[in-house]
Amino acid sequence: MLSFIFGILLLVAGYHYYGGIIERILEPDDRETPAKKCADGVDYVVLPHWKNMLIQLLNIAGIGPVIGVILGIRFGAIVFLIIPLGNIIGGATHDFIAGMMSLRKNGANLPELIRGNLGECYYWLFSIFMTVLLLLVVAVFINVPAQLFGGMLNDPSWFWYAVVIIFIYYIAATLFPVDKIIGKIYPLFGLMLLLGTIAIFGAIIFECDMVPDANLLSESLAFKENMWTAANNKPVIPLLFVTIACGIISGFHATQSPIIARTMETERQARSSFYGMMVVEGLIAMIWAAAGMAIYNLFPELMTANPNNVLVKITTHFLGSGWGGVTVIAVIILAVTSGDTAMRSLRLSLAEIFKLDQKSFFNRMIIVIPLIVIVVGLLLWSNKDANSFNQLWNYFSWANQVLAASTLMAATVWLMRRKKNGLVAWIPGIFMTFIVVCYILWISKEHGGPLGFGMELHDAYWTAGAITAVIAVAVWVRGLFLRRRENSIPQADGN
C-alpha cells in the first residue's frame, strides 16, 4: 500500500516540479497559435481549454493504462515505482515536447517533425513505419472494445455487430470537422472515464481497509509464485516497458499531440494539455495496476488468465454488476477514443506527405477509402484465431515504443538547435532506444512473443547497449552540427 500511495504522490509532485522545469526550457509564450494562423474550420479550430485537455486525455489513454497494467503488474510491486518515474521523466516530457514542436510548426504531424530534425532518409522510413503502426492501432482499438462489449453482454455473437458500429464511428470521426463529433461527445466520454476510475479507486481503498491483514497491494506468497521474472521468460527489461506503454511512455501520443496543437488558443495551455494529461494517464494506470494486484492476490489463478477476463472480474468483484458495467463501458470508451483519433491522425499525416488540402471533403475521402479497405483486411486476419490477434498486439506494442524513441531523439535535436537543454529528451530517448533494440534482439516465439532474433538475454543486453551508444552519439552530433549551421538563422518557424 505504501508504494502505491508514494507513486501517486510522486506523480502529483512530478507535474508541479519537473513539469515546471520542462516548461521553463520550452518557454511557451503568446505567439499566434496554428488554430488562429491556419484556421480552416475542419482541423484548425479553436476549442476551449478544458475540452482540449479532455480530448488529449482520451486520445492518449487507450487500453494501455488498463489492459497493459493489468498484465504489467504481474512483474510485481516495482511497477508502482516505475510508472510514476517513467511517466514524469519520459512519457510526460515526450508528450510536452512533441506538442510544442508541433505548435511551433503550424500543427505539423510527427513525420514532418522527424524530417526537420532527423533528416530526409529517416523521414521516409519513419513515415512508412508510423503508417503501419497507426493501422495496427485502429485494428486493435476496434477489436478490444468489441471483445469487451461482447463479454459484458455474455454473448460473443455481438462482437461483429460492435466491430461494425465502432468502425463506422471511426470513419465519421475521421472525416468530419474536429469540433462536430470529437469536440461534442468527448466531454461526456471523459466524465464516464473519470467516474469509472474514481469508483475503482474508492472500492480498492475500501477493500484494503476492510481486510487490512490481506495486504492486497503487496506481493503475497501466491502472487510471488506466479509473478513474471526473467526465469520464466518475462524479464523486467525490456518486457515491462513494452507491456506497459501508456502510463509510462508511448510513441502513439506524439501522433495525437498535433490534433490538439491545431485547436489550442494559446501556447501557455501546453503544460496542462500535454504534460498534465500524461500525468493523469499515469494516475489512471496506477489505479488499475492496484486493482490488478488486489485481484491477483484474492484470486491467484487469474494470473494466467486473459487480461480482458481479469478486467471483468475486477469490475464485478469491486463494484458489482451495476457500477462494474459502467466501468467496463469507460474502458471501452478509452479504446474507442484512441482508435478514432489514430485514424484521424493517419489521415492528417498522409495528407501532409501527399500535400492534399483537407478542407475539401473529397480530398479527405481520397485518403480515407484506402484506409478503410486495409483496416477491414486487418480485422478479418486478426480474428481468424487468438494467435493472429496476439501477433497483432505484440507488433503494435514494440512498434509503439520505436515511435517513442524516435520522437525523443528528434526532440533532442530540436532542443539543441535552439541552444536549450537537450538532455531532458536525450536521456529518456537513449533508454527507450535500448529497450526497443534489446526487445527486438531478444524476442522470439521461443521467448513467448512475435518474430525476433531470439538472442539470449545477456547477449541482447550487450548488443543493444552497443547499438544504442552509436545511435545516441549520432543524434547528439547531429544536434551540434545543426546548431552550429543555424546559429545565425531566426527560430520563428519552429523547424
Residues 407-428 pLDDT 10s: 999 999 999 999 999 999 999 9
Residue 302 within any structural domain of the chain: yes
Residue 461 within any structural domain of the chain: no
Residue 437 within any structural domain of the chain: no
Give kind and range of the element (H or E) at residue 463: helix 457-485
Query: For residue 439, which of 430, 428, 451, 429 has the smallest C-alpha distance?
Result: 451
Grade residue 189 by pLDDT with cuts at 50, 70 and 90. Answer: confident
Residue 452 within any structural domain of the chain: no
Lowest-confidence segment of 12-21, 105-114, 343-352 by average pLDDT: 343-352
Residue 462 within any structural domain of the chain: no
DSSP state of 489: S
Residues 261-283 pLDDT 10s: 999 999 999 999 999 999 999 99
Place of cell 529497450: 435
Residue 478 within any structural domain of the chain: no
Residue 438 within any structural domain of the chain: no
CB 70 within 8 A of CB 292: yes
Residues 433-459 pLDDT 10s: 999 999 999 998 888 777 789 999 999
Residue 463 within any structural domain of the chain: no
Q: What is the pLDDT of residue 412?
A: 98
Question: Which CATH number fits the domain that encloses residue 150?
Answer: 1.20.1730.10
Residues 6+ apart with CB under 8 A from 349: 109, 110, 111, 127, 130, 131, 134, 255
CB 372 within 8 A of CB 172: no
Task: Give this prediction's pTM.
Answer: 0.88
Structural domain including 70 reads 2-400
Whole-number Cα distances in Å, 141 to 259, 411, 434: 18, 28, 27
Q: What is the pLDDT of residue 389?
A: 55
Residue 362, all three cell numbers = 473529397
Instruction: Give the separation between CA 252 and CA 433, rounded to whole angstroms.
Output: 15
Q: What is the pLDDT of residue 414?
A: 97
Structurally, the chain folds into a number of domains equal to: 1
